[in-house]
Amino acid sequence: MNKKKRIIVSVILSFTVLFSGLAVLVNYWSRTPYGRLDPMVALFLKVIIGDQNSFSNGKSVAESRKFLIDTSRFVSGSGPDLPIVKNIDIPGLAGKIPARLYAVEGKNLPIIVFYHGGGWVLGNLDSHDPVCRAIAKETKALVISVDYRLAPEHKFPAAVEDCYAALVYMYEHGKEFGGDPTKIAVAGDSSGGNLSAVIAQMARDKNGPRIAMQALIYPAVDLSIEQTESYKNFGKGFMLTAEDMKAFASAYLKNAEDAKNQMASPIYAKNFKNLPRAIVIAAQFDVLRSEGESYARKLKEAGVTVKYISYNGMIHGFINSLRFMPESNAAIREIAAEMNSAFKN
């Protein structure tokens, strides 16, 4: 064997040993007392996240906001190209609300009002830009992402006010952007799922716009931070922590009593009847999984059509991982299928 061949063989063997060792490590990291994490999730948690994400662990608001945007860019990529991506301003109670429109070619498109996640403290139009692009592409709908006011600068119910104002604005002005206000839905992840559920209840109670569908992606619907099964099992080490949720709730709410106000914690509503059809997306290893299950059950018991899907091996925030997680794209396709079905009725 000549020298060149020996070098090639040596390199191949080195890489084989390296990847074999990494595979053993990832397999070890995937094991938990509650089942197996997806290998990509386990690698992400161990190598990329570690303890860096912990909002409750000393990071400033500014640092936490930057970390979320940087991480989202890494795991989401740029998202699909769309013919129409446009920033607009929506009039709100406290001034203009920045928003971003996404659409494919066409007129009279169904409208999806999207509320981003981030614990009512983090996130903006950019952190969820790829997700909104993907939803617009899959649904062929007009998606509007709402940059509502954030805590702690703006306490509850500032975010709720902005989100409801955005819904009403699109109902009244959607045609100007190529939308069909008779076919309107709300969607959001985590705190955005919370806001989607709250806005659906408000629209019903205020005789506001008729919402055809609510897509609640691992929603935070109980800010009293009850010690549910998922809080006990997944409160630490699985991306979003129990301490993070306590810190987010403290930043968002004005006082402890707000935690059981249905406009902050929609699970405490007295009436779940006549709410829009829903899809509730959950992750197996998510501190919020139990409350999402409970909310879906309350809707079903009230006669609301609900599709509940829990993704095995996944953690909170997985829907942003368009670049690495097939489950992210699968969840968006599920949401699109439910949305399109609802828009036909």
Question: pLDDT tens digits for 259-299?
Answer: 999 999 999 999 999 999 999 999 999 999 999 999 999 99
Which secondary-structure segment (H or E) carries 117? none
Using an 8 Å Cβ cutoff, are 125 and 166 in contact? no
Residue 183 pLDDT > 50: yes
CA 3, CA 299: separation in Å to the nearest integer?
70
Using an 8 Å Cβ cutoff, are 76 and 130 in contact? yes
β-partners of residue 85 are 102
CA 56, CA 54: separation in Å to the nearest integer?
5
Other C-beta atoms lying within 10 Å of the C-beta of residue 218: 29
pLDDT of residue 25: 74
> Which tokens go with 29?
């990291």
* Band of pLDDT at residue 226, cut at 50, 70 and 90: confident
| Residue 324 phi, psi (nearest 5) | -120, -25
Instruction: Look up residue 260 and give its DSSP letter.
Output: G
pLDDT of residue 31: 87
Q: What is the pLDDT of residues 122-143, one digit of tens each?
A: 999 999 999 999 999 999 999 9
How does strand 35-36 pair with strand 277-285? unpaired
In the chain, the amino acid numbered 236 is: K
Residue 14 pLDDT > 50: no
Alpha carbon of 285 to those of 5, 124, 143, 225: distances in Å? 47, 25, 29, 17
pLDDT of residue 151: 98
> Which tokens go with 20?
């074999």
CA 131, CA 332: separation in Å to the nearest integer?
8
Task: List Cβ neighbours of 200 (8 Å cut-off, separation of 6 or more).
Answer: 186, 211, 214, 275, 276, 278
**Hey, which residues are catalytic here?**
190, 286, 316
Percent of the chain having pLDDT more than 90?
79
Which secondary-structure segment (H or E) carries 25? helix 3-30
β-partners of residue 31 are 36
**DSSP SS3 for 290:** helix
Residue 1 pLDDT > 90: no
pLDDT of residue 12: 46
Residue 15 pLDDT > 70: no
Using an 8 Å Cβ cutoff, are 93 and 161 in contact? yes
Residue 342 pLDDT > 80: yes
CA 122, CA 164: separation in Å to the nearest integer?
19
Task: List Cβ neighbours of 118 (8 Å cut-off, separation of 6 or more).
Answer: 65, 68, 124, 127, 150, 190, 191, 192
pLDDT of residue 26: 73
> Which tokens go with 128?
């969820």
**DSSP SS3 for 323:** coil
pLDDT of residue 28: 76
Q: Single out the residue of 104, 113, 181, 170 nearest to residue 140, CA to CA.
A: 104
Q: Where are the alpha helices (DSSP H) in 174-288?
A: 191-205, 229-234, 242-252
pLDDT of residue 4: 56
Mean pLDDT of 153-176: 98
CA 8, CA 3: separation in Å to the nearest integer?
9
Residue 17 pLDDT > 50: no
pLDDT of residue 59: 79
pTM for this predicted structure: 0.92
Q: Please, how many CA atoms are within 13 Å of residue 100, restricted to the half-sphere of its CB?
A: 19
